[in-house]
Amino acid sequence: MKPVRLILFSLVLAFLLTACVSAPSDWEGEPQPEVITLQITPAMEHWTTRLADCAQNISDFGIYTQVQSPADLSLADSDLILRLGERLEDDPYVAVMGVEEIVIVAGADVPVTALSLDNLQAIYAGEINDWADVPDARTGQVGGAAPIKPLTYPAGHELALLFKRAFLHDAPIPSATQTYSTVAFLKELLVLHPTGIGYLLQSQVPEGVHTLQISADELVASKQYVLAIIPRAPEGRLKALLVCLQSAP
């Protein structure tokens, strides 16, 4: 009987040892929390809401967001960059998240609903200062003189650079032009200067502010890609985040 007992004891011991060895593999397989660092430009800050909505649907995942000027964006300090524009030569991996469009917005007393590209360029060059000098402007509706108040993002701002490239052939905007840095302040300025015009992204046009159609013989590159820049092809949770962003309304 002793040999039988020894065999049974050996089998039980082997089972216990196997169970002890296999248990850690189950622990190791548990998902680990992941937090990525995102760098985003000021013009794209309104996308943080979409990012948060997508991130909350991905288990054990978080995003640490840094708002940086385009010149300060760096993959050395981040896992993901979100910006407007075109792919740069040194971007390692780029995915298109969507498209934004730069539009011209106008105060309530602007006497036109459309503007030629030539006239828009003349206004921002300081060559046209009154709506009476714009063909087809119904200046009688604003009671005589209707001074044009051009408004712009500050020099060097991402949207100012894209606006000049798309609409002004990169011509400079006079330094004395009234500036704004937020959509809320632009809306205030258009109330203060109801015959003024400015520009912003279509997705950010405030309620009650109307846009001007721009007519041109040439193609106006008003639409801008929203780009996600990452070090390599995305995997796992990061891939899930980008897929969600691409499908977000």
Type of residue found at 127: E
What average pLDDT score do residues 95-105 get?
96
What's this model's pTM, rounded to 2 decimal places? 0.80
**Average pLDDT of the residues in 189-217:** 95
Query: Is 101-223 in the same CATH topology as 34-99+225-247?
Result: yes
Instruction: State how far the Cα of 163 lies from the Cα of 126, in Å rounded to an integer.
Output: 16
Confidence of residue 248 (pLDDT cuts 50, 70, 90): confident
Residue found by looking up tokens 């981040």 in the block: 78
d(CA 174, CA 35): 44
- The span from the CA of 137 to the CA of 246, in Å, is 41
The CATH class that applies to domain 34-99+225-247 reads alpha beta
Q: What is the CA radius of gyration of the chain?
A: 28
Decide the pairing of beta strands 223-230 and 80-84: antiparallel
Domain boundary assignment for the chain: 34-99+225-247, 101-223
**Do residues 83 and 41 touch, judged by C-beta distance below 8 A?**
yes
Type and span of the H or E element at 197: strand 196-201
CATH architecture of 101-223: 3-Layer(aba) Sandwich (3.40)
Report the pLDDT averaged over residues 37-56: 95
pLDDT confidence of residue 140: 52
Residue 122 token pair: 């003349």
